[in-house]
A and B are shown apart, each in its own frame.
Chain A
Amino acid sequence: MDNPHPFAIETRKLNLWYGTFQALYDVDLAVKQGQITALIGPSGCGKSTFLRSVNRITERLGYVRTTGSIEVFGHDIYRPEVELVQVRKKIGMVFQRPNPLPLSVRENILFAYRLHSGGERLTRNKGDEIVEDALSQVLLWDSMKDRLHRKATTLSLEEQQKLCIARLLPVKPSVLLMDEPCSALDPEATEAVEDLIWELRGRYSILIVTHNMAQARRASDECIFMLMGKVIEHTRTEDMFVTPKHKETADYIEGRYG
């Protein structure tokens, strides 16, 4: 997927229902490749739902119905012949609470790689290489290289969250979805993870849901404001925070509701 398609994610008339409740209304979005795009909006506005429909994890609930299309680098991921495993491989997800597996740091990073390499024996060298590369990308290698056999669940939350990003990288995803990745972290850890996300910009297309206005402003190229399942505004971040075009956007970012 190295094609220079300008958009990482493009949706057309995306509607989504949880049972009879409609959570997304005609969402038309184009998320640029290699950039950080922040999704903001009050609780229940559909931003997490949108994020989750981009790697089709919403379907697990069983009672979700989707119409319209989502294209990732120009390929519709809702076509029937699409293999879900490939979708999940190319589109990584980072959660609100860090959720490393109860394995060693090393095994966490090799986990996805092993899943997608189909039982092929992984040599020690190759494994070391993958682990070093992934940890270096998330700026953890120096502090973690002597602790690779520690259980990941005993690390600090910041380290855990960075590890959760790192373990996606060995299978070469193109898109990283992040659902409030800093909301369980203290301010210092938040800053560190934000720095990391900024560091990953360019190599990956990142879509990040956040409740934190300051974070959206600091750490994104473009910003999407959603309200009641609809996209209200999608512009460059500095434009949204300086000269919002819609009254609802202005009200929200100034903290008049949320």
Chain B
Amino acid sequence: MFEATSLNRRNRQKEGLVRYLFLLMTLLLILPVLIILGVLVAKGGPVLSMDFLFTYPTDGMTAGGIFPALVGTVWLVTVALLFSVPIGVAAAIYLSEYAPDNWLTRLINLAIINLAGVPSIVHALFGLGAFVMFFGFGTSILAASLTLAIMTLPVVIVSTRESLQAVPMAFREACWNMGATRWQTIRHVVLPNSISGILTGVILEVSRTAGETAPIMFTGAAFFLPFLPQGIFDQTMAMSLHLFVVSTQVPGVPEHLPYGVALVLILMVLTMNATSIAFRMYLRNKKKW
């Protein structure tokens, strides 16, 4: 009485087909990543050395290391974070914990999501107009980092808001019922329980910021500088722009050099992502509800 009918068999065939189709798509997705990494390691691996990381480019950038670009990227990302994290986290807290659920809030949420989709070259032009020219910061780390900060703000807001909303409502209600104000509730219950998610979002944002080229091209990153930036009003070299320059703008660059730069850049990003994952796992194991 439990034998398969022809309908059962057909459904089972369909099931198998669909399953392998989806598996194939997944493999197609990770294939390019593996190829990119493989090529980078194969071609750029040999140039990696302490000298490469810690010396200046020489011979019209056809030889030498990437030190100023590495330092510049750290500058740009750090200054960008100093702006985007406080603003983004505060805005996310407002939207998640204070804002009433009305049409205005929904409109703001929609705007934030759409802002995340604005092309980076548009942000670059905005940064040029606003920070470099209007505010008179000139092409500088400050102008470039502000541009990066504005570009990544929506991402910070969205990821922070999601972390905040993952904190069960019951905890907030418990606090409010004991007479806690919103801020007391946020400070003592919501933030401690969402900080892992918020920091993960921030670290992912760092990796994205580190790789951006267009927004810093017009606003603060230089082609070549024989010295390190001394402050936020200086120009700087940056890894992403340096990669662009040695790949396309300078004649006579040996083939392995751009691959080396790209490899360092991607390793920076991957390290950051790995840190964020490890960190998230560490904090998640600590909390239980």
> Could you tell me which A residues sit within 8 Å of B by CB distance?
55, 57, 60, 62, 84-89, 92-93, 95, 97, 99-102, 111-112, 115-116, 151, 153-154, 164, 167-168, 171
B219 to chain A, nearest CB (A): 43
CA distance A151 to B184 in the complex (A): 20
CB of A256, distance to nearest CB on chain B (Å): 34
> Which residues of B sit under 8 angstroms from A55, Cβ to Cβ?
177
Number of A-B contacts (CB under 8 A): 59
Whether B31 sits at the interface, judged by CB under 8 Å, is: no
Asked if B283 is at the interface of the complex by the 8 Å CB criterion, the answer is no
A140, B264: Cα distance in complex, Å: 58
27 pairs, A vs B, C-beta closer than 8 Å: A57-B173, A57-B177, A60-B176, A62-B100, A85-B179, A86-B179, A88-B176, A89-B178, A92-B177, A93-B177, A95-B170, A95-B173, A95-B174, A97-B170, A99-B170, A99-B174, A100-B174, A101-B174, A102-B193, A102-B287, A111-B175, A112-B179, A115-B178, A115-B180, A115-B184, A151-B288, A167-B178
Total B residues in contact with A, Cβ cutoff 8 Å:
19
Q: Which of A57, A111, A167 has the most CB of B within 10 A?
A: A111
Within 8 Å CB of B177, what residues of A?
Answer: 55, 57, 88, 92-93, 95
Interface of A is mostly: helix
Contact of B181 among A85, A111, A168 (CB under 8 A): A85
The 5 tightest CB contacts between A and B, nearest first, are: A88-B179, A112-B178, A99-B170, A85-B179, A93-B177
Asked if B289 and A102 sit within 8 Å, CB to CB, the answer is: yes
CA–CA, A111 and B189, complex, Å: 10
Residues of B within 8 A of A87 (CB): 179
**Chain A min CB distance to B165 (Å):** 16
Is B188 part of the contact surface with A, judged by Cβ < 8 Å?
yes
Residue of B nearest to A85 (CB): B179
Contact (Cβ within 8 A) A102 B171 = yes
Q: Give chain A nearest CB distance to B163 CB in angstroms.
A: 15
Q: What residue of chain B has the Cβ atom nearest to residue A57's Cβ?
A: B177
Alpha-carbon separation in the docked complex, A79 to B161 (Å): 35
Report if A153-B179 is in contact (Cβ < 8 Å); known contacts: A99-B170, A102-B171.
no
Residues of the B chain whose Cβ atoms lie less than 8 Å from the Cβ of A97: 170
Residue ID in chain A nearest B101 by CB atoms: A62
Taking CB atoms, residues of chain B closer than 8 Å to A102 are 171, 189, 193, 287-289
Most buried by A among B173, B174, B193, B287: B174
Interface string of B174-202 (1 = CB under 8 A from A): 11111111001000110001000000000
The answer to whether A99 touches B171, judged by C-beta atoms less than 8 angstroms apart, is: yes
Instruction: Establish whether residues B189 and A101, one from each chain, have CB atoms under 8 Å apart when the complex forms.
Output: yes
- Residues of chain B contacted by A99 (CB below 8 angstroms): 170-171, 173-174
